[in-house]
Structure 1
Amino acid sequence: MADIAAPVVGPSAAARLRGMVGPVVFVVVLLALWKLAVTAFAVPPYIMPPPEAAWTAFLKEADKIGYALFFTLRNAAAGLLVAFVLAIVLAAIFVSSRKVTHAVLPIVIGLRTAPVLAIAPILIMIFGRGIGTAIAVVVIVSFFPIMVNAMKGFSSTRKNALELMHVLGAGWFKTFIKVRLPFALPFIFAGLRSAATSAILSAMLAEWLSGAPGLGTLILDASSYRKTGLLWAAVIVSMIMAYTIYWLTTAVEKRLTAWRN
């Protein structure tokens, strides 16, 4: 029995280890290049501190960074959730009705092409200097790639599956839930991966512009007070969180689309 079970567990664990080697090697090489560049070109610490200075600042200001990270993740998660629901609803409507697509899609595209920096003062006046502005910025930045990929996914449903649902007497909603949505999952997750990584950046941008608590404000304050170690520590934390969100999104996609294999 043990001999039969061993080959099943082994490749899975080995695959996980192989998946971890790449990111670890990348981080080590990046830190080595960072240290080499700072040393070789004698970069002043007020411009770019060495990696150990950023690590020291992280340990010293861990509470402050964790507090700011909480607000940024909260804003990004809330905005991404709203963007996801809005994108799926709009994509479903656009696929179902060409008249609505021709009437509403140009407005959606126009809203997406508006520079966030240009409309940020308007958003601050509407939503105030808090979570409302951060959510609005994240939604504007994140919903479009999800919507475009969802539209492509909903349109890629096999015709024989749609015809089968029609023969069985299924309505639009049941056909959407049972057929269109499962077929569109790979496309939706492709857009979600792109949107999820940019959600952190857009939340930080909103914090930077509005002064709300978060990593964006922390980085701005650290820059103003010339705390370059803290600044770089916060930047690295934001990069790690963006990669973590991307990895989690990929893992969820594999779990939900395993049936396709």
Structure 2
Amino acid sequence: MADVAATAPNRAGSLLRAALGPLVFALVIVVIWKAAVTVFAVPPYIMPPPEATLAAFEANFGKIGLSVALTLRNAAAGLVVAFLVAIGLAALFVNSQKATHAVLPIVIGLRTAPVLAIAPILIMVFGRGIGTAIVVVVIVSFFPIMVNAMKGFSSTRKNALELMHVLGASRVQLFLKVRFPFALPFIFAGLRSAATSAILSAMLAEWLSGAPGLGSLILDAASYRKNDLLWAAVVVSMLLAYLIFSATTLVEKRLTSWRS
């Protein structure tokens, strides 16, 4: 019990120290923002001061909150699909050279296709809703997860593989009990990049298709010259991407703590 009681303050202190850095950085950014607007006399229609942006956020809290929820839904759904597709393709490529030579060039070609160029096709096929947003998120997000997963699956320790072969493990057991756990740090490295890209790609899909979310909110604010609301939505999107990145890092530490 004494150990548990001693551990709790340590965890609270660690969380406080982890939050202090981003808060200080955000404060510095706000001070620089305010100083730049004041010193250079930047017009409000280009860059409003921080207090005007905060006022717009408070005045449109419900609208921004709904947009955040919709964008998060689209990004999360697309990221789940991207993760499953990436892990499946990485496992296939690691276990089959023929599949690598046959399918990998197609995957690379799909990834290099500009989303803006194929957006009209996606909208015609999947409609102006969550379907297009999910597909855009998958196209943008799956590749870094797949590449890192392939690297992780290929870096499994040989002695662990040999031991599983001696024990008569099947390919599925070998993948689930050895390759996948050893590849988790690599997978999370790709997932951190993909998670932040998922928010931006979901906003891009909303912008292109007109589906509700942060992307369409920013577009509407720009169209109606509501610059304070536009900047408030942009700042919220940046904070959202940072929070998702931090959450992914926290989950990684939880799931890979056994390695240390």
- TM-score, length-normalised on structure 2? 0.98
Correspondence for 2:199? 200
Separation in 1, partners of 2:129, 2:15: 40
% of aligned pairs identical?
74
Is residue 22 of structure 2 the alignment partner of residue 23 of structure 1?
yes
Instruction: Sort the Cα spacing of 1:67 and 1:10 in 2 relative to 1 into closer, same or farther, 3 A.
Output: closer
Kindly provide the amino acid, as one letter, of the partner of residue 26 in structure 2: V
Equivalent residues in 2 for 1:28-177, closer than 5 Å: 28-177=27-176
Is residue 4 of structure 2 the alignment partner of residue 9 of structure 1?
no
What is the CA RMSD across the aligned residues, in angstroms? Answer: 1.1
Separation in 2, partners of 1:78, 1:11: 35
Separation in 1, partners of 2:213, 2:141: 19
Equivalent residues in 2 for 1:213-252, closer than 5 Å: 213-252=212-251
Separation in 2, partners of 1:64, 1:17: 31
Is residue 207 of structure 2 the alignment partner of residue 211 of structure 1?
no
Cα offset, 1:6, TM superposition = 5.5
1:116-168 Cα deviation digits (max 9, x unpaired) = 11111111111111111100100000000000000000000001100100000
Cα offset, 1:17, TM superposition = 1.6
Separation in 2, partners of 1:165, 1:26: 48
Separation in 1, partners of 2:4, 2:127: 59
Q: Which runs of 5+ in 2 are unaligned?
A: none
Cα offset, 1:5, TM superposition = 5.5
Q: Which runs of 5+ in 1 are unaligned?
A: none
Kindly provide the amino acid, as one letter, of the partner of residue 148 in structure 1: V
SS at match of 2:48: coil
Separation in 1, partners of 2:141, 2:181: 21
